[in-house]
Amino acid sequence: MPKSIRSIDSGKLHELRFRLDESITPVGVFVNEPLESVISLSACNALGAVQLHGGEDENYIRCLKKELTIPVIKAFQADSPESIRQAEKSPADLILLDNGAGGTGTVFDWSLLRHIKRPYFLAGGLGPHNLTEAIKTVHPWGVDMSSGVETDGAKDKEKILAAVAAVRRTEA
């Protein structure tokens, strides 16, 4: 039984990877999966990065990095200066800063990012409507969206295209 409406099995993973343009990096998102499961799915060469959204600790991340040749991204709830400091110390290759309440469409207090020194992905409440502001305000290394580009729980092509256009306009 899938744990999330966005869950897929390894067969679907391979099918999607085959259909995906080679310039796009497929990212596997995992929440509290056993280490062996993440390693096994990553070893099939269908993923270009692993994103961890659960309670995976530093030891878990270090073990994963020893086994994988792809980047490990760890998501953190950005709700205080201390949470930002903890995220900056992570052994993950990249960090993702989120509001912690997935799918609510709410952003967190971006002023918490004033002193961050490490490149990061910004997530939480992002969509075509606020991407330009987010990028110009906090200068993330990258952005991560899910529900902000969905309609009725499914990815919406028009919203995705609008988000990509917003990013490109901001970069210009």
pLDDT at residue 55 greater than cutoff 80:
yes
The confidence score (pLDDT) of residue 162 equals 95
- Per-residue pLDDT band for 103 (boundaries 50, 70, 90) equals low
pLDDT at residue 133 greater than cutoff 60:
yes
Note whether residue 25 is domain-resident.
Answer: yes
Count of domains for the chain: 1
Per DSSP, the three-state class of 123 is: coil
Within 8 A by CB and 6+ apart from 48, the residues are 25, 26, 27, 70, 71
The confidence score (pLDDT) of residue 3 equals 60
- pTM, to two decimals: 0.88
Note whether residue 101 is domain-resident.
Answer: yes
How high does pLDDT run on average in the chain?
A: 89
pLDDT at residue 140 greater than cutoff 70:
yes
The confidence score (pLDDT) of residue 5 equals 54
Compute the distance between CA of residue 16 and CA of residue 38 in angstroms, rounded to an integer: 18
Per DSSP, the three-state class of 121 is: strand
pLDDT at residue 50 greater than cutoff 60:
yes
Note whether residue 22 is domain-resident.
Answer: yes
pLDDT at residue 38 greater than cutoff 80:
yes
Q: Which CATH number do you get for residue 61? A: 3.20.20.70
Tell me which residue of 29, 23, 26 sits closest to 15, measured CA to CA: 26
Compute the distance between CA of residue 119 and CA of residue 143 in angstroms, rounded to an integer: 11
| Stronger pLDDT, 42 or 39, i.e. the higher one | 39
Structural domain containing residue 152: 10-171
Q: What percent of the chain has pLDDT over 90?
A: 67
In angstroms and rounded to an integer, the radius of gyration of the C-alpha atoms of the chain is: 16
The confidence score (pLDDT) of residue 172 equals 58
Which residue in this structure is represented by tokens 């110009």? Answer: 136
Note whether residue 33 is domain-resident.
Answer: yes
Note whether residue 5 is domain-resident.
Answer: no
Compute the distance between CA of residue 129 and CA of residue 93 in angstroms, rounded to an integer: 29
pLDDT at residue 117 greater than cutoff 80:
yes
